[in-house]
DNA sequence: CGAGTGATTGAAAGAAGTCAAATCGCGTGG
DNA sequence: CCACGCGATTTGACTTCTTTCAATCACTCG
């Protein structure tokens, strides 16, 4: 029926509205705002490893993650890489750059098969004009991002590596953890390299640290692509240790 | 005349407008917006070392620095301290917390004698309602803060200490440097401890690093409260060195 | 089964932190 | 005006944490 729908599009209007309800930008707004937002949205599917856009591209589009997971990578001038954050359903991607009219400062890569909704700058402007609460939500969202960055800066600036890794794992667990029989599982692939680039260390140090945790029974066995935490409380202790 | 003006208030309406013109929030907005903003503003003077408010306080007030310099300190749960940034004339203080309705996440301390303008949450809301461009500017300001934090996170996560110190000194020079006969001067007191807390290192390492720079003739002599950079270009090299 | 990618681990080097002590500069009070 | 005391700074010696370098290993995919 919808001949113009992008390849791989499978979400109907209700599914889109459900996604928007969970999002930082539309969450808590009245139904007519959600409907207007859903109507204006396009859908796009990314396979694991695909980039949503490239760092340095002109920022023309707002995105919200519908399902799956994006890893936001920032390449440094000297060829290293920093993982700014992982983003899951409901998270806004690209909006800060679009609103400031600067190039995208990082590249979002699908950590798993991922679906996103998108709005052009113009459409989002119209939406914000028609629904002023959206602008307030945008401010709120950006404030949350600032808070998060300040916390990470503080961690990287003052804490030792093991604490940072513990805190990072716990944050991801808090955002995306799934309870299983064995413990809490991180439901998407998270490599040692990823953790290293999130915590500002090397994959070697991460590997050693996780090996020690496995030894201690804090997390589950080796070389499985999904990390399982068996003793979250112990991780909390590590993340708070003086 | 103005019996209700706070102690130490010395700015007339024009002086306030001049400050607003230079600010991130009001800069570039039409004269009537500036006038409305200036009219709604209160003034406050801080002596060196005074706190504008305390981390953890309810965020009820927006501030803009009129003159002087504030150091934004964040105390960590384990008793350390991180300097989030220095703020000078035109910079907004506290607004992120006010708009998100969360406690102030840090304490701004006057690094020197400092004057600020302030608006209650309600007054600022009225202003934003009456002048929609203000909300857009607020979004822009927050975006800039996010960018800055991402850059610092990247630095702390990937660069060695000397590079970070060099980059930090250069950033401060870019924001506040004054040219003198001897070189570029940072016109407010900046201790080794301050630099350490900005770069995530110890005052010992900062002291050693600056001593080496003095040795090399990059900056000026020791134990003077205002740092003078004699060879900025060399500092740029250090901040970019692989 | 072989290649390739990611992970693990040992050994050595290096960067920065900790501990400790001396020094300097400045303001205070005699 | 000068001695005293305090806080900031400098510096040396040592320790520790991380990284770097180098192999090896495990698992997955073709």
CA B52 – CA B50 distance, rounded (Å): 6
Task: Give chain A's mean pLDDT.
Answer: 93
Residue B124 covered by a domain: yes
Last residue of a domain, one of A156, A177, A205: A156
- The pLDDT, as a whole number, for residue A3 is 53
CA A88 – CA A91 distance, rounded (Å): 6
**pLDDT exceeds cutoff 60 at B2:** no
**Mutation site, A74, A94, A140, A146, interface B, largest B CB count within 10 A:** A146
Judgement on whether residues A208 and A236 belong to the same structural domain of the protein: yes
- The pLDDT, as a whole number, for residue A223 is 61
Radius of gyration, CA atoms only, chain B: 19
**Count of H helices and E strands in chain B?**
9, 10
**pLDDT exceeds cutoff 70 at A2:** no
Could you tell me which residues are beta bridge partners of residue B73? B83, B107
Q: What is the mean pLDDT of residues A6-11?
A: 69
Residues A25-34: pLDDT tens digits? 999 999 999 9
Judgement on whether residues A132 and A170 belong to the same structural domain of the protein: no
Q: What is the mean pLDDT of residues B104-111?
A: 96
Please give the backbone phi and psi of residue A192, each rounded to the nearest 5 degrees, phi first. -60, -40
- The pLDDT, as a whole number, for residue A241 is 83
Residues A98-138: pLDDT tens digits? 999 999 999 999 999 999 999 999 999 999 988 888 888 99
**Alpha-carbon torsion (A236, A162, A143, B49), positive or negative:** positive
Question: Does at least one atom of strand D sit less than 7 Å from the CB of B192?
Answer: yes
Judgement on whether residues A102 and A91 belong to the same structural domain of the protein: yes
Residue B2 covered by a domain: no
Burial class (CB in 10 A: 0-12, 13-18, 19+), A23: buried
Q: How far is the CA of A226 from the C1' of D28 (A)?
A: 15
Judgement on whether residues B151 and B32 belong to the same structural domain of the protein: yes
Answer yes or no: are the C-beta atoms of A41 and A22 closer than 8 Å.
Answer: no
Closest by CA position to B38, among listed B55, B26, B24: B26
Judgement on whether residues B146 and B97 belong to the same structural domain of the protein: yes
Judgement on whether residues B164 and B140 belong to the same structural domain of the protein: no
A135 with B135: Cβ contact below 8 A:
yes
| Chain B environment of A95 (Cβ under 8 Å) | none
Q: What is the mean pLDDT of residues A164-193?
A: 94
Last residue of a domain, one of A156, A178, A206: A156
Torsion of CA A105, B25, B136, A29, to 10 degrees: 100
The pTM of the whole model exceeds 0.85: yes
A84 with B153: Cβ contact below 8 A:
yes
The domain that holds A123 is classified in CATH as: 2.60.120.10
In eight-state DSSP terms, residue B77 is T
The domain that holds A199 is classified in CATH as: 1.10.10.10
B8 — pLDDT class (breaks 50, 70, 90): low
Residue B38 covered by a domain: yes
Answer yes or no: are the C-beta atoms of A127 and A94 closer than 8 Å.
Answer: no
Q: What is the mean pLDDT of residues B140-167?
A: 97
B100 with A157: Cβ contact below 8 A:
no
**Pick from B140, B156, B240: which is nearest to A153 by CB?**
B156
Question: Does at least one atom of strand D sit less than 7 Å from the CB of B160?
Answer: no
Last residue of a domain, one of B118, B134, B156: B156
Judgement on whether residues B150 and B169 belong to the same structural domain of the protein: no
Whether chain B has a CB inside 8 Å of the CB on A78: the answer is yes
* Nearest residue on chain A to B147, alpha-carbon basis: A105
Judgement on whether residues A171 and A129 belong to the same structural domain of the protein: no
Question: Does at least one atom of strand D sit less than 7 Å from the CB of A201?
Answer: yes
Residue B1 covered by a domain: no
Residue A150 covered by a domain: yes
Question: Does at least one atom of strand D sit less than 7 Å from the CB of B121?
Answer: no
Judgement on whether residues A152 and A175 belong to the same structural domain of the protein: no
CA A242 to chain centre: 29
Residues B36-90: pLDDT tens digits? 999 999 999 999 999 999 999 999 999 999 999 999 999 999 889 999 999 999 9
Judgement on whether residues A26 and A83 belong to the same structural domain of the protein: yes
Upper half-sphere CA count for residue B50 (Cβ side, 13 Å): 13
Whether chain A has a CB inside 8 Å of the CB on B200: the answer is yes
Judgement on whether residues B43 and B102 belong to the same structural domain of the protein: yes
CA B169 to chain centre: 14
Residue B194 structural domain = 159-240
Q: How far is the CA of A223 from the C1' of C1 (A)?
A: 22
Residue B46 covered by a domain: yes
| Residue B98 Cα distances to A12, B104, B111, B147, angstroms | 38, 8, 23, 20
Residue B5 covered by a domain: no
Total domains in the fold of chain B: 2
CA A219 to chain centre: 23
Judgement on whether residues B35 and B77 belong to the same structural domain of the protein: yes
Answer yes or no: are the C-beta atoms of B104 and B97 closer than 8 Å.
Answer: yes
Residue A3 covered by a domain: no
B35 — pLDDT class (breaks 50, 70, 90): very high
- The pLDDT, as a whole number, for residue B6 is 60
A127-131, B19-23, B173-177 — which is least confidently predicted?
A127-131
């Amino acid at each position: 029926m919808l001949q113009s729908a992008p390849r791989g599009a499978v979400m109907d209007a209700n599914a889109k509205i459900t996604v928007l309800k969970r999002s930082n930008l539309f969450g808590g707004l009245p139904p007519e705002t959600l409907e207007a937002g859903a109507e204006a949205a396009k859908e796009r599917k990314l396979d694991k490893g695909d980039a949503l856009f490239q760092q340095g591209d002109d920022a023309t589009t707002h995105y919200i993650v519908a399902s799956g997971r994006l890893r936001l990578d920032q390449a440094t001038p000297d060829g290293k890489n920093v993982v700014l954050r992982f983003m899951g359903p409901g998270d806004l991607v690209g909006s800060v750059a679009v609103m400031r009219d600067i190039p995208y400062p990082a590249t979002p890569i699908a950590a798993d098969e991922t679906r996103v909704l998108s709005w052009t700058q113009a459409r989002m402007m119209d939406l914000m004009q028609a629904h002023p609460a959206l602008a307030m939500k945008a401010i709120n969202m950006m404030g949350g991002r600032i808070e998060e960055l300040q916390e990470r800066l503080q961690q990287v600036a003052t804490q030792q590596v093991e604490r940072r890794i513990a805190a990072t794992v716990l944050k991801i667990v808090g955002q995306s953890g799934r309870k299983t029989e064995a413990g809490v599982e991180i439901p998407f692939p998270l490599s040692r390299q990823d953790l290293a680039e999130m915590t500002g260390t090397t994959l070697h140090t991460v590997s050693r640290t996780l090996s020690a945790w496995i030894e201690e029974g804090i997390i589950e066995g080796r070389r499985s692509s999904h990390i399982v935490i068996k003793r979250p409380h112990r991780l909390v202790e590590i993340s708070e240790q003086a």
